[in-house]
Amino acid sequence: MSKAALTQAEPRASVDWRRWVRAIARSFLVRRIAKALFTIFFVTSLLFFLVRLMPSNPLEIYIQELMSQYGMSYQDAASQAASLFSIDFDAPLWQQYLNYLADLLRGNLGMSLRSTGTPVVDIIRQFLPWTLFSVGLGLLISFALGIGLGMIMAYRRDSWLDNLLSLFASITTSITPFLLGIMIIVFVAVQWRWVNFAELRGSTSPGIQPGFTLEFIKDILWHAMLPIGTYVLTTVGFWMLSMRSSTVATLGEDYVTVARARGLSDGRIATAYVGRNAVLPLVTQFTLSLAGVIGGSAVIERLFSYQGIGAQLVASVIQRDYSVMQGIFLILTVAVVVANLLTDLFYGVLDPRIRVTGEE
Amino acid sequence: MASQQQALSPVRRSVVVDMLFGMWSGVVLLARNRVGLIGLIGLVAFILLTFVGPYIVPLDTTVKVDQIYVPPSWEHPLGTDSQGKDIWSQIVHGGRELILISVGAALLSTLIGASLGALSAVAGGWVDSLVMFLTDIWLTIPQLPLLIVLAAFVRVNNPVTLILIIGLLSWPAFLRAVRSQVLAIKQSDFVEAARVLDLGTGHIIFREILPNMMSYITINFILAITAAMGFQATLIFLGVVPLSGTNWGVMIRFADTRGAIFSQDSFWYIMAPVMAISLFQLALVALERGFAEVFNPRLRS
């Protein structure tokens, strides 16, 4: 009330200016992007200090490795290690932090401490595509499969098929993903010998030319088969159960009864009336699950010797490679944040009811 | 009259008695539910196996070179490992530490989630905004990578750090759920009455609202144990926490580094700890399903 009175008292140009500022501050898009940027900044800063608080440092780990592998004395190992590392661990922490942020704004993620002369950006460029490819494909297959099976379960609820699929979904969602991955290796590759695991290691077969050829696509799919299978197996149950309950709820809605009364075909009701509405709540859950699955790739890739970014993260933590750790963590966070952002913006297209900007 | 009774029996004790009574009636109800009964039996079996078993089955520590990867027999119910040690005795001895750490981490995350979620909903205003803002950010951070980084702080034979880092990571999703539930309960008459009597925010949260959500909190607590067990096994498998003693996670780690995954003979060595953790998690989830159906009769139809 008093605010409105104040703005009216202002000169005209100023009113326009304030209205614009307020409109921008209220805009869903702007607020969403600001939050995403702050999240990235927060995580980056948190990680910067966390990795430096970690016990031991890359220098010490490297000295230990030299001593145990080559039987060097501490003095020799220390002098050799010191010549390799350019980073100054004695500079004040806040100074290192400001330097890091300044570099980051210029898109410079620094150099790997262990693989001397390799920029972190190159490591990410080399390994990230494999993770995005395998995790992305796995999630999409899982989501599509889960929605299909979930709808079938809802339509045939309390039949033997529904009970069987529910049991399968409950079991696969309860067990920690990498244990299911171990079971896949033990049964598919070792006990039943369906595939030769030794040939499947890595992301591509040696000597194959990267390019948009059928041969190359077949090869990378072949190598990603088991990780993708694990992502699907560990996540599909969640989508099945969610879609089942969501569809059951939608089937009870009046507009479905009306559609039936109007004599629409079952297929049309299932896709245009039930399916479209039942899938909406799952889209939000899809976003929430992203962080978990992208993060989970670390252990899955390690298990299947898949050359992705998650396996690199584990290696860099063990070696205390500060800059690689920070770079990979940053890129994983950005991936999750961007995916969240896209889903939020995309949601309005799916559900016209929430296509409003401004206050909640 | 009421105030006299409160003065006689300390508040804390009555909470404990309430909880014990609630747990007992929960167990009685559970036994009538098929899935819940399976989970309950499974959990009791695991507790007996890992907490009583070690006093009956001695840990086999002798290396027997001539008995490597012996298939299961009466002498070795689950066969032997890469050094000829009995796998069954390792399974019996390998659960206690993991289960205790899981329970500790689950307690911590449930406590944080429940109290902060309720506070956020009851206080509202800037407290609510701040808590939800932090929760949203926390939910966006990929958990496992952060856990892998934090695991570097764990020292040998120091389970407290492990409890802290797993517990401090796993609350955000629960907090959101608690907050939305409390927002609904907040409207009810008994909360309104407490507010009129000016009993204070602490009293309203811990004596009026949270006891009414005990079933929900219990269910989440069980699921949190399952998750914590998984996180521990993952961290040990990746080799980012120091290994100590015999536990299921260390068994998987050794089976992996000694190549037992890729050999047909060592099937039992790798599958025994994998199945132990999996079955423990399945038992807890079955228990949770049973609880959910008992507490929420609408699910039963």
DSSP A119-137: BHHHHHHHHHHHHHHHHHH
A185: which chain B residues are within 8 Å (Cβ-Cβ)? 261-262
A182: which chain B residues are within 8 Å (Cβ-Cβ)? 252, 261, 270, 274
How far apart, in whole angstroms, are the C-alpha atoms of residue A143 and residue A120? 33
Of A38, A42, A325, the CB nearest to B149: A325
How far apart, in whole angstroms, are the C-alpha atoms of residue B66 and residue B92? 23
* Cβ neighbourhood burial of A266 (10 Å; 0-12, 13-18, 19+): exposed
Mean residue pLDDT across chain B: 79
Give the residue-averaged pLDDT of B137-151. Answer: 83
Give the pLDDT band (50/70/90) at residue B9: very low
Q: Are B76 and B88 in contact (CB under 8 A)?
A: yes
B233: which chain A residues are within 8 Å (Cβ-Cβ)? 176, 178-179
A178: which chain B residues are within 8 Å (Cβ-Cβ)? 233-234, 237
Beta strand extents in A158-309 (DSSP E only): none
Give the pLDDT band (50/70/90) at residue B192: confident
- Write the pLDDT tens digit of every residue in B196-225: 887 777 777 777 777 778 778 888 888 899
CA atoms within 13 A on the CB side of A321: 24
Of A51, A174, A191, the CB nearest to B285: A174
Query: Phi, psi at residue A211, to the nearest 5°?
Result: 165, 175
Question: According to the model, what pLDDT value does residue B219 have?
Answer: 85
**Interface residue of B98, B156, B183, B238 to substitute, partner A, most A CBs within 10 Å:** B238
CA atoms within 13 A on the CB side of B68: 9
Handedness of CA A170, A176, A180, A183 (dihedral sign): negative
A171: which chain B residues are within 8 Å (Cβ-Cβ)? 282
For chain A, what is the radius of gyration of the CA atoms? 26
A337·B271 Cβ contact <8 A? no
B142·A50 Cβ contact <8 A? no
How far apart, in whole angstroms, are the C-alpha atoms of residue A111 and residue A323? 7
Report the gap between the CA of B149 and the closest CA in chain A (Å).
Answer: 6
The structure tokens listed for B188 are: 């009810």
CA-based nearest residue in chain A for residue B285: A174
State whether residue A115 is helix, strand or coil: coil
Handedness of CA A282, A288, A290, A292 (dihedral sign): negative
Of A39, A50, A176, the CB nearest to B234: A176
- Write the pLDDT tens digit of every residue in B52-92: 878 887 777 777 767 677 677 777 777 777 677 777 888 88
How far apart, in whole angstroms, are the C-alpha atoms of residue A200 and residue B159? 37
What B14-23 contacts at long range (C-beta under 8 Å, 24+ apart), as own/partner pairs, is: B15/B211, B18/B211, B19/B214, B22/B214
- Picking from B222, B146, B177, B237, the residue whose alpha carbon sits closest to that of residue A292 is B146
Give the residue-averaged pLDDT of B105-126. Answer: 86
Check whether B301 has a pLDDT greater than 90: no
Give the residue-averaged pLDDT of B123-151. Answer: 84
CA-based nearest residue in chain B for residue A168: B282
B139·A337 Cβ contact <8 A? no
User: CB under 8 Å to B128, separation ≥6 — which residues?
Assistant: B120, B121, B179
A55: which chain B residues are within 8 Å (Cβ-Cβ)? 152-153, 155
- Picking from A100, A109, A97, the residue whose alpha carbon sits closest to that of residue A324 is A109
Placement of tokens 């492990």 in the chain: B162
Pick left, alpha or beta for residue A170 (phi over 0 → left; psi -120 to 50 → alpha; otherwise beta).
Answer: alpha
Report the gap between the CA of A211 and the closest CA in chain B (Å).
Answer: 31
Placement of tokens 């032997």 in the chain: B80
User: CB under 8 Å to B85, separation ≥6 — which residues?
Assistant: B60, B61, B62, B63, B64
Handedness of CA B8, B12, B15, B21 (dihedral sign): negative
Check whether B7 has a pLDDT greater than 60: no
Give the pLDDT band (50/70/90) at residue B152: confident
User: CB under 8 Å to A172, separation ≥6 — which residues?
Assistant: A180, A233, A234, A236, A237
CA-based nearest residue in chain B for residue A171: B282
Check whether B160 has a pLDDT greater than 70: yes
A182·B263 Cβ contact <8 A? no
Give the pLDDT band (50/70/90) at residue B248: confident
State whether residue A175 is helix, strand or coil: coil
Question: According to the model, what pLDDT value does residue A145 have?
Answer: 93
Give the residue-averaged pLDDT of B12-18. Answer: 66
Residue bearing the bigger pLDDT, A77 or B284: B284
Report, as ranges of residue numbers, the positions in chain A whose pLDDT lies below 70: 1-15, 25-26, 56, 71, 80-91, 114-117, 198, 202-203, 205-212, 352-360
Question: According to the model, what pLDDT value does residue A12 have?
Answer: 59
How far apart, in whole angstroms, are the C-alpha atoms of residue B188 and residue B289? 27
How far apart, in whole angstroms, are the C-alpha atoms of residue B189 and residue B43? 38
For residue B285, give the DSSP letter. H
B144·A337 Cβ contact <8 A? no
How far apart, in whole angstroms, are the C-alpha atoms of residue B229 and residue B227? 5
The structure tokens listed for B238 are: 């990746």
Report the gap between the CA of B2 and the closest CA in chain A (Å).
Answer: 44
How far apart, in whole angstroms, are the C-alpha atoms of residue B67 and residue B58? 18
State whether residue A196 is helix, strand or coil: coil
B281·A314 Cβ contact <8 A? no
How far apart, in whole angstroms, are the C-alpha atoms of residue B214 and residue A45? 37
- Picking from A304, A311, A310, the residue whose alpha carbon sits closest to that of residue A181 is A304
How far apart, in whole angstroms, are the C-alpha atoms of residue A292 and residue B165? 17
Mean residue pLDDT across chain A: 78
Exposed e or buried b per residue across A306-319, where buried means at least 16 C-beta atoms within 10 angstroms of its C-beta: bbbbbbbbbbbbeb
How far apart, in whole angstroms, are the C-alpha atoms of residue A89 and residue A77? 18
A191·B239 Cβ contact <8 A? no
CB atoms near residue B79 (< 10 Å): 23
Question: According to the model, what pLDDT value does residue A146 have?
Answer: 92
